[in-house]
Homo-oligomer: A and B are copies of this chain.
């Protein structure tokens, strides 16, 4: 394993330090609790917090900023954030309008956010609500009973609910909106190469030189099927077929499309996937309102991509187009 890092056990701490130092004016950082938060004194707004294991960057500390998240709690790599991190973040960021937790559906994440909510309630802290995100269609046919995983579709939830929260909307409506976005987004991905956990030092799974893993999870969990490599045309079709038939997305509907890199795949290849997906969706009669192509929710250095489709309505469109002043950007 080769990575740009010092000691593996300091991976997350040094990464978050780098983020805070890159944006000293807008971001606050509490190293002991691995919290990144908005430093500007926003008011009259429900605060949005997300958190999960690290290794999915830019998800989610890199989405903290006006118009998106207000704080993020980072756990160790691929492990849920600790209770105190969540509780402290909620206390710190609440502006009296309450705190909405946006949580991807994993046992550890759910359990820790749930405990944090109970603890905050117990201590008479801010009002807290939680919306669970579970957009991964790959898990449908499996025997796993922890339910569908939350993957890249979460970013659409942050974006839309984040934009809405800036309008001063109350916590119940925001939670409803979050669940509404979640109900309308579906994702599936595939891997060309496993990720390598910095503290483990070896790949999480082994793919042959001519194999790909369909429906892989964000922590290298096995997917639906391991198959031989094939032209991207064919693979992207498989992903889109699963996604489109799942909601289902109907001919004539309008979608936001996210082509999300898993960390080790260059944007050139993501745009090839984008080109292919456009052709396939056209054949389905599905209109792409806007394409989002980049690394949004990764799995360390995994190679591959996921595709998310979000079924749009006028409100979603409007909120997607609102600006988001987040640290991950080009200029």
Contacts and interface: CB of A to CB of B under 8 A. Distances in A.
A324 interface: yes
A200 interface: no
A181 interface: no
A interface, by DSSP: helix, strand, loop or mixed? mixed
B329 A272 contact: no
Number of copies: 2
Contact of A2 (B14, B212, B295, B300): B212
A285 interface: no
Nearest to A12: B268
B57 A271 contact: yes
A282 to B, nearest CB: 9
A118 interface: no
Nearest to A55: B268
Interface in A62-96: 62, 68
Given A266-B295, A271-B15, A326-B330, A4 B58 contact: no
Given A57-B267, A229-B2, A275 B192 contact: no
A317 interface: no
Contacts of A301: 264-266, 269, 303
Contact of A6 (B231, B291, B323): B231
B274 A18 contact: yes
Counting chain B CB atoms within 10 Å of each CB, the highest count among A3, A16, A275, A320 belongs to A275
Nearest to A235: B4
A189 to B, nearest CB: 11
A294 interface: yes
A12 to B, nearest CB: 8
B271 A18 contact: yes
